[in-house]
Amino acid sequence: MKLTRILYLSDYEVIAYQANAKLKTLEIVQRFAKNTEGYDDFKHYLQQDVKTPIFWLVDTSYEEYRIAQIPHVLGKDRKSVLAHRMKRLFEYTSYTYAQVQGRETSGRGDDIVLFTALNQINLLQPWLNDILEYKIPLRGIYSVPLLSQSLLRYFSPEPYTLLVTHTPKINAQSTHGLRQSFFVQQSFQLSRLIPVTLEYSQAYAKMIIDQIIKTQYYLNSTRLLPSTTPLSVFILLPPPLLHVVHDFVNKYPHPDLYIHCIDIHELAQQFDFQSENQLLYLHDLVAYHLVHITPNNH
């Protein structure tokens, strides 16, 4: 039986998953805290199987995003220009990635490029050192926000989209996190991750809407979102939390926000993801996609 091994790294912990493509399941094998005991447990976990490749998902507040233009060149010249620009943007980290998203429709027709970087290498390095020590095959290190772009095909296509999801806790004080990822013409632009301490209540629903409005103001101020253009918002949550937010949105509508509340379990069923977890997260859906499609290493 072919199994896929996936690691999920957040600011708070590492979670080891085991995926079964035939049964269409994804199960948590073990959790590892970011302390001495957690690192020791992680080494023991790796020692049990040094042959099965690992897919690594990173979901962190330490990821940085920049959109820039470069001259439209090809081959070795493009690689050289991308490397030079990357070095200028992110001087102090080696964990970087560039994705050409298209070309300008006016002027010189420059390439539009998304540059990303993990600006806190200590978040990743201790765990990676163990994987390298045991010579375990590593298929790739992937950004959860970047991979979430693949989920947009399940929603109605919109020119300006904000995907809002909850995450596991991101520090010892939080109960969970809230991630907002912004897309233009289905292409990823940036993402925000904030800690949340509120329980599921009207106050929690208000906080989500307030954070969406805060992001909308930022997008307007940076001209990523034209000031007269409504923002299409897809809020992806499990049923108990979704009902609270849905009721709040209906009670306090915002005319410049097109808000869609979506059951994350119903979305999972659309691509035959079978899960017994009562609380699904965005990274669960992204991890399941890795079982079937292996993207380029970020």
Query: Based on the domain organization, do 134 and 114 belong to the same domain?
Result: no
Three-state secondary structure call for residue 84: helix
149 contacts 186 by C-beta, under 8 angstroms:
yes
Give the total residue count for the chain.
298
The whole-model pTM stands at 0.93
Evaluate whether residue 298 is within a structural domain.
Answer: no
9-23, 147-161, 242-256, 271-285: which has the minimum mean pLDDT? 271-285
Residue bearing tokens 């693949």:
150
User: How much of the chain exceeds pLDDT 70, in percent?
Assistant: 97
Statement: residue 1 has pLDDT above 60: no
Q: For residue 5, what are the CA distances in angstroms to 13, 50, 67, 271, 287?
A: 17, 11, 32, 20, 10
Q: Looking at the structure, do residues 129 and 239 belong to the same domain, yes or no?
A: yes
Same domain, 135 and 249: yes
Whole domain around residue 114: which residue ranges? 63-118
d(CA 297, CA 40): 27
For residues 143 and 14, membership in a common domain is answered with yes
User: Is residue 286 in a domain?
Assistant: yes
Using the Cα atoms of residue 287, residue 290, residue 295 and residue 298 in order, give the sign of their dihedral.
positive
Asked if 101 and 211 sit in the same domain, the reply is no
* Position 107 confidence tier, pLDDT thresholds 50, 70, 90: confident
Same domain, 224 and 108: no
Give the pLDDT score at 54.
95
| Long-range Cβ contact pairs of 152-158 (< 8 A, separation 24 or more) | 152/183, 152/186, 154/267, 154/270, 154/271, 155/234, 155/260, 155/262, 156/232, 157/186, 158/232, 158/258
Q: Identify whether residues 148 and 199 lie together within a single domain.
A: yes
What number of other Cβ atoms are within 10 A of residue 292's Cβ? 12
- Same domain for 14 and 89: no
Q: Does residue 220 form part of some domain?
A: yes
Instruction: List pLDDT tens digits, range 194-240.
Output: 999 877 678 888 999 999 999 999 999 999 999 889 999 999 998 88
| In-domain check, residue 98 | yes
**Does residue 109 sit in the same domain as residue 170?**
no
Last residue of a domain, one of 118, 140, 155: 118
Taking the CA atoms of residue 165, residue 170, residue 172 and residue 173 in that order, the dihedral angle to the nearest 10 degrees is: -50
Q: Residues 25, 132: one domain? A: yes
How far does Cα 249 stand from its chain's mean position?
Answer: 24
Please indicate, yes or no, whether residues 196 and 90 belong to a single structural domain of this protein. no
Q: Per the structure block, which two tokens stand in for 115? A: 């540059």
Quick check: 142 and 298 in contact, CB under 8 A? Answer: yes
- Domains in the chain: how many in total? 2
22-76 tens-digit pLDDT:
777 889 999 999 999 999 999 999 999 999 999 999 999 999 999 999 888 888 8
In a domain, 297, yes or no: no
Residue 154 to residue 11: CA distance in whole angstroms: 28
Are 171 and 141 in the same domain?
yes
In a domain, 279, yes or no: yes
Report whether pLDDT(2) > 80: no
Domain-terminating residue out of 87, 118, 149: 118
Q: Using DSSP, state whether 74 is helix, strand or coil.
A: coil
Position 114 pLDDT exceeds 90: yes
